[in-house]
Structure formats: structure tokens, C-alpha cells
Structure 1
Amino acid sequence: MSDIPDPKAAMIDAALMHVPFDGWSEASFRAAAADAGLSLPEARALFPRGAVDMALAFHARGDAAMVAALGATDLSALRYSDRVAHAIRTRLELVEPDKEAVRRGLTLFALPIHAADGAKALWQTADAIWTALGDTSQDLNWYTKRATLSGVYSATVLYWLGDQSMDHAATWSFLERRIDDVMRFERAKRAARENRLLKPLMAGPEWLASRVKAPSAMSTSGLPGRWRR
């Protein structure tokens, strides 16, 4: 393994030749190890749970590529909603050559035993997008932004996987409609906050929301957020 500069990347690259046929399975894992020149114990050291951890590493690699691409692009002229749409489109276009691997990953993480891993990977993608776009929220908005984006992203991925239109034009139209729906909801929330009749009703929920802090405000507790007295 010491002769391979990046054995994890080598394993993932090798697996992408087998996953379209065998899925993210033990067969793909073993074949990838052999193609990458690794013994099974060496491969297990890299991916203890085998194909599941390899699929997660493939997903994380897509996130990292997206973040790098966004960092090299000037998005200052775009509205914030357009920046989000651009980020999601970039994420999907980067893995378009391995679309079948994404489809197989969706099937894997739809299984109850791996659903938590899939949800975590989805949340990490949403977090990567917001962080790359410069989100500085430290309150409940940190959670709601990522939860909302997770819904938009997952729906777009499902549409993208079945899209046969030229250059996935139908997917990008679908994405724009979903973001427009979110923006309409945000405008409705803003109007409710500014409505003099509704303000008294919103006072309690607003106070409660102000007590919640983002994970970045944590020290070492390991919890997903914190409550401020």
C-alpha cells in the first residue's frame, strides 16, 4: 500500500468500473481492491465497513470537488438564490460521468440499515454548500438553511437521475422551481414577522429560536448544537 500515492482514491476510482454492474457491494469492494493492487486487509483498513464506507468516501469526494470549484468561481454578481442553484448544479455536473454510481448509492442508502449514513451524507453536502457560499448564521437559521437545502438537493438528485433531456435542461428548470418555492416561503415568514397582528404570537417562538446555537459555537461536547441560558 505504501507504493500507492493515494490508496483511497485508487480504490474509489477502481470501484467506479464495477459499481454500475454490482452496485456498492462486497463484490465491487473486492474487485476494486484487486484492481487497485491492495490486499483485502489493506482495503479493510481504509474502508472498515467495506462498500458502504467506500460509497461515503465517493460522496465526500464529490463534495470536496464542488467546494473547490465554487472557490475558484466569482459568484458575487449572482443573487443568493442563484448562487445556491449554481452550487447544486455544479455538484451534480461534477459527478455526471458517474451518474450510475450515484444511482446505486441512492439505492444503498435507501436501505434502513444505511439510512442514517445517507442522511448524514446529505446533510454534509448541504453544509458544504452553505459554508462555501459564506453562510455566517450561528442561530436556528443554521439548521433551517441546511434542512431546507437538503430537501431541495435530494429532490433535484432524484429528478436528475431520471432526466433524459438535453444537457439536463429539465433538471435545472426543476431546480429553479424548487428554489422559487423556498423563496416564497421565506417571504411569507418575513411578512409574518413584520405583521403587527402576528408579532405577539411570534414572540415566543422567536425567543425560543434565539436560544439555539450552531455547532460551530460548541467547544468539545460533541453535541449537534447548544442551548444558551
Structure 2
Amino acid sequence: MTQTQGSESVRDRLLGAILSEAAFDGWNGASLAAAARECGLSDGDVRLALPRGVLDLVARWSQRCDREAEAEIGAADLKSMKIRERVTFAVLARLETIGSDDEAARKARARLLLPDAGTLGAELIWATSDMIWRALGDSSTDVNFYTKRMTLSAVYGSSLAAWLGDQSADKAEAKAFLDRRIENVMQFEKFKAQTRKLTANLPDPAEIFGKLRYGFDRRT
């Protein structure tokens, strides 16, 4: 086993042990120490596997949930769904990987808002959005690659907050919130498509500005 594989194994063991601790005490040094004791790991083992401490475990959990959701999306009959249904299904699949660990997830979200977490929260949401689009078969490489992920990051981030705030068993309010957000996105995409059609025959702004900068051809 390589050092990297060993560190990953330690992270997975610690993650399994810390979820129940974090639900009560939050993602902090105390809950990490308790998880390490449960796993029989030394401080050195923990520091080697987790250079950023509990933040590495939060990231590991998000990545694990991404993999679980990706497998579920990949096993679904996506061809029978419309694009809106596919995106909704995929986002729900990811949210449902949280399972019964809602409180640990709420505490993780709060932890990511602290200054020392930097941009990690945004990076994890972007990674989740990227996973969803790839799992849905998106192959875009142009500007659409980024706009799709930016839009879905906003949808997923707000839907995650609604999911964690909805303490009902069926998450009905959170699901309704997600439906509204997806509807907003679909309306925006429809508006963009209509705008492209209306402006298809208009002059290219880049060409106009280029002429303004370098001068119009007087022969025209």
C-alpha cells in the first residue's frame, strides 16, 4: 500500500467515526480527536492524513457523496426523462446521499463559512455540479461548460440550504424549492434561446468595435 492509499484509508476510517461526533460537537479539533481515539490512530497519523484537519474530512465526505450520486445517476434510465427531469433527478440523488446525517451536514456547511475554510465550500459545490453534468452526459467544452456549472452551482447550493433546513421526513418543502429553482433556470435558458434567434442577423458587436478602433474602410 502506498502512502497516498494509506492516507485515503485513514481518512475514510476517520470520516466514518466523526460523523456522529460532528452532529453534536461540530467539525472541530475535539470531534476529530474523539474520532482518532475510536480508530486507534495517533496524532501523527491524523496530521499526515489530514493536513487541513477536519476540512479534509468535510471534503472527503462531499467527494464520497458525489461518487455515490454519480453511480445512481449512471444507473438511471435517463433517456426516458426530459432535460428538466434529468437535472432534478440528479440534484435529488446528490442531496439524498446525505441520508440521516443532516445534522452533521448542517454543521459542515457552517464550518465551511469560517474564514480558514477559504474557498473550499465553493470548490466542493462546483465539483458536485461538474459531476452532475458529466453524469448526465454533458460534453460541452465552450463557454456553455462554465455557464452550465455556474448555474447549477447556484441551484444546488441554495437547494442544499433548503434541504438541510427542511426537517420533515419527506423533504416536501425542499423538493418544491428545487422544482422552483429548476423552473427559473429553464425559463432563463428559454429566454437565452429566444434572444439568440432574435439577434442572429444583427451585426457582430466585436466587428463593429473593431472598426471603431481601427477606422471604417472609407471605400464602403
Please indicate the TM-score interval, normalised by the length of the shorter structure. 0.7 to 0.9
Q: CA deviation at 1:4?
A: 11
1:4 and 1:178 map into 2 onto residues whose CA distance is: 39
Q: 1:174 aligns with which of 177, 192, 200?
A: 177
1:55–1:5 CA distance, 2 compared to 1 (3 A): closer
3-state SS, counterpart of residue 49 of structure 1: coil
Letter in 1 for 2:179: E
Letter in 2 for 1:73: A
Contact 1:24–1:105, Cα closer than 8 Å, also in 2: yes
Letter in 1 for 2:193: R
Question: Does 2:60 correspond to 1:37?
Answer: no
Moved over 4 A (4+): 1-5
Letter in 1 for 2:43: L
Aligned runs of 1:145-164 on 2, under 5 Å? 145-164=148-167
3-state SS, counterpart of residue 138 of structure 1: coil
1:204–1:129 CA distance, 2 compared to 1 (3 A): farther
Q: 2:86 aligns with which of 83, 87, 93?
A: 83
3-state SS, counterpart of residue 95 of structure 1: coil
Structure 2, unpaired ranges of 5+: 207-220
Q: Which residue in 2 is equivalent to 1:25?
A: 28
Q: CA deviation at 1:164?
A: 3.2
3-state SS, counterpart of residue 119 of structure 2: helix
Question: Does 2:56 correspond to 1:53?
Answer: yes
User: For the aligned residues, what is the CA RMSD?
Assistant: 2.2
Larger mean CA deviation between 137-146 and 3-12 belongs to 3-12
Q: CA deviation at 1:67?
A: 0.7
3-state SS, counterpart of residue 167 of structure 1: coil
3-state SS, counterpart of residue 17 of structure 1: helix
1:50 and 1:74 map into 2 onto residues whose CA distance is: 39
Contact 2:20–2:104, Cα closer than 8 Å, also in 1: no
2:129 and 2:201 map into 1 onto residues whose CA distance is: 31
3-state SS, counterpart of residue 142 of structure 1: helix
1:3 and 1:141 map into 2 onto residues whose CA distance is: 38
Letter in 1 for 2:202: P
Q: Which residue in 1 is equivalent to 2:77?
A: 74
1:71–1:104 CA distance, 2 compared to 1 (3 A): same
1:23–1:199 CA distance, 2 compared to 1 (3 A): farther
Contact 1:109–1:118, Cα closer than 8 Å, also in 2: yes
Q: How many residue pairs were aligned?
A: 203
Q: CA deviation at 1:5?
A: 9.6
Q: CA deviation at 1:123?
A: 0.4
Q: Which residue in 2 is equivalent to 1:200?
A: 202
3-state SS, counterpart of residue 134 of structure 1: coil
Structure 1, unpaired ranges of 5+: 206-229
Q: Which residue in 1 is equivalent to 2:216?
A: none
2:116 and 2:48 map into 1 onto residues whose CA distance is: 22
Larger mean CA deviation between 125-134 and 67-76 belongs to 67-76
Cα shift readout 1:76-132 (whole Å, capped 9, x = no counterpart):
100111111111111111112111111111101112331401111110000010011
Larger mean CA deviation between 36-45 and 137-146 belongs to 36-45
Contact 1:192–1:199, Cα closer than 8 Å, also in 2: no
1:199–1:112 CA distance, 2 compared to 1 (3 A): farther
